[in-house]
């Protein structure tokens, strides 16, 4: 998988997390954080 696409996805999730934190919806914050965590674990395992 192209690392640039993973970086792009990470940026999008981080942007979404900022917006969701501003709006204060805990369920959406948690789901977005889980997506970021999953992407991070995938990125790390893909690189190894």
Domain boundaries, given as residue ranges, for the chain: 3-47
The pLDDT assigned to 48 comes to 47
Cα separation of 24 and 3, whole Å? 31
The pLDDT assigned to 26 comes to 97
The pLDDT assigned to 47 comes to 54
Residue 1 pLDDT greater than 70, yes or no = no
pLDDT in tens, 5-46: 888 999 999 999 999 999 999 999 999 999 999 998 876 665
Q: Which of 6, 16, 17 is nearest to 41 (CA)?
A: 6
Distances (CA, A) of 12 to 8, 16, 38, 41: 6, 6, 14, 17
């Amino acid at each position: 998988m192209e690392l640039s696409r993973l970086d792009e996805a990470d940026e999008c999730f981080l942007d979404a997390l900022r917006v969701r934190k501003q709006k204060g919806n805990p369920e959406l914050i948690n789901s977005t954080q889980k997506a970021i965590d999953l992407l991070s674990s995938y990125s790390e395992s893909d690189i190894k």
